[in-house]
Amino acid sequence: MAYATTDLALGTKAPDFALLDTVTGKLFSLRDVAGGKATVVMFICNHCPYVLHVLDKVVDVARDYQQRGVGFVAISANDVATQPQDGPEQMKALATEHAFPFPYLYDQTQQVARTYQAVCTPEFFVFDANLKLAYHGQFDDARPKSDTPVTGQDLTQALDALIQGKQPSGEQQPAVGCGIKWKYPY
C-alpha cells in the first residue's frame, strides 16, 4: 500500500540526531552530514519497491550534488521485528552493493523518524544552508511499474534553487511510497 507524506512547515529547523552508520559503525549527527549549500535527509529502507525503483538515480544525484556543497544522509527506521530485511546487516549490504556516497543510518528507536514526521520511504527533506526546511516531498514522478523515467527532477530542482541562493517552489509534491513500519505500541 502506498502512503503519501504529511505537510511539515517550510522553514522548520532540521532536528538533530545521533545515529550509527551501518557501514562504518561511526556515529553521525546532523552537523556531520550537513552541506554548505543544502542538506538532504532521506528516509529509505531496503525492501520498499518505491525505494528500489529510484535508488540508483538517488546515488547518482548524491554524487553529483555533493560536489556542489550538498550534504546527504539516508536513514532507515523500519521495525526489524516485522521487516528483518531492513536490519543493520542488510542495510550495510545494500549500501555496499550500491556504493552509497552517504551514510546509511539506522534509527532503531524510530525517534528520529517521528521527530521529522516521516511517514514513508522514500521521503526527502531538503534543508537550506541555515538548516531550515526548504523542500519536503518526492524524488520525482516515477513509480514502480510505470513508464515515467526516473530523473530525480523534483529533488534536483529544489537543490538547484538553493545552490543559486533562491528558495525552491512552494508547490511541492508529497513523497509516495511504503509506509514506515512502526513498532507497536508507540
Q: pLDDT value at position 186?
A: 57
pLDDT tens digit string along 66-95? Answer: 999 999 999 999 999 999 999 999 999 999
Q: Decide if 186 is inside a domain.
A: no
- Is 159 contained in some domain? yes
- The reply to whether 150 falls in a domain is yes
Q: What DSSP letter does each residue of the chain carry, written as one string? A: -EEEPPP--TTPBPPP-EEEETTT--EEEHHHH--SSEEEEEE--SS-HHHHHHHHHHHHHHHHHHTTTEEEEEEE---TTT-GGGSHHHHHHHHHHTT-SS-EEE-TTSHHHHHHT--EESEEEEEETTSBEEEEE-S-S--TTSS-----HHHHHHHHHHHTT-PPPS--PPPEEEEP---S--
- Domain membership of residue 185 (yes or no) is no
Residue 52 maps to a domain? yes
- Count up the domains in the chain and report the number: 1
The CATH number that applies at residue 68 is 3.40.30.10
pLDDT in tens, the chain (186 residues): 455 556 678 999 999 999 999 999 999 999 999 999 999 999 999 999 999 999 999 999 999 999 999 999 999 999 999 999 999 999 999 999 999 999 999 999 999 999 999 999 999 999 999 999 999 999 999 999 999 999 999 999 999 999 999 999 988 999 999 999 999 865
135: containing domain: 2-179
